[in-house]
């Protein structure tokens, strides 16, 4: 009986070796919200980098669950509106977000409906969180 307990104790000690915790690299950007409805009536891209503008994001029910009040110190946020469209099927596609030594380049594409699309007024938009405070350019 003592041998079984001793064997169990030895196995427990060796099986409880410390595990190495590896931090996953932080992604450069994340799409927080993307929708066919809810955007503005005209097309524009806006970088949200000021506290006053950021407070609007914190007040949005859909977005605030992805954002912490301290994020404005380490990240920029981008609002992309495609404007009013006369049918469904339009989408915002983030082709790439590239970090250079002095800036971030966001490459955006408007995806148009292919074939038949629902006849309805839509306002596609997207909100990105970019984990950098560098200036942002759109391509």
SS (H, E, C) the chain: CHHHHHHHHHHHHHHCCCCCCCCCCCCCEEEEEEECCCCCCCEEEEEECCHHHHHHHHHCCCCHHHCCHHHHHCCEEEEEEECCECCCCCEEEEEEEEECCCCEEEEEEEECCCCCCCCCCECCEEEEEECCCCCEEEC
User: For residue 84, is it within any domain?
Assistant: yes
Residues of the chain falling short of pLDDT 50: 1-23
Q: What is the pLDDT of residue 104?
A: 97
User: For residue 1, is it within any domain?
Assistant: no
User: For residue 15, is it within any domain?
Assistant: no
Full-model pTM: 0.77
User: For residue 72, is it within any domain?
Assistant: yes
Q: What is the pLDDT of residue 17?
A: 42
Q: What is the pLDDT of residue 6?
A: 39
Q: What is the pLDDT of residue 125?
A: 95
User: For residue 123, is it within any domain?
Assistant: yes
Total tally of structural domains belonging to the chain? 1
Q: What is the pLDDT of residue 49?
A: 83
What's the domain range around 124?
Answer: 28-138
User: For residue 110, is it within any domain?
Assistant: yes
Q: What is the pLDDT of residue 50?
A: 85
User: For residue 13, is it within any domain?
Assistant: no
User: For residue 22, is it within any domain?
Assistant: no
């Amino acid at each position: 009986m003592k041998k079984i307990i001793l064997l169990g104790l030895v196995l427990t000690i060796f099986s409880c070796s410390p595990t190495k915790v590896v931090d996953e690299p932080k992604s450069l950007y994340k799409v927080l919200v993307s929708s066919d409805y809810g955007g503005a009536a005209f097309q524009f891209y806006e970088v949200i980098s000021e506290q006053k503008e950021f407070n609007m994001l914190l007040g949005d029910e859909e977005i605030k669950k992805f954002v912490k009040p301290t994020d404005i110190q380490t990240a920029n946020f981008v609002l992309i509106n495609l404007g009013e469209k006369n049918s469904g099927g339009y989408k915002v596609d983030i082709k790439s977000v590239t970090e250079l030594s002095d800036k971030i380049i966001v490459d955006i594409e408007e995806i148009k409906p292919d074939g038949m699309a629902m006849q309805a007024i839509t306002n596609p938009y997207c909100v990105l969180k970019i984990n950098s405070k560098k200036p942002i350019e759109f391509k």
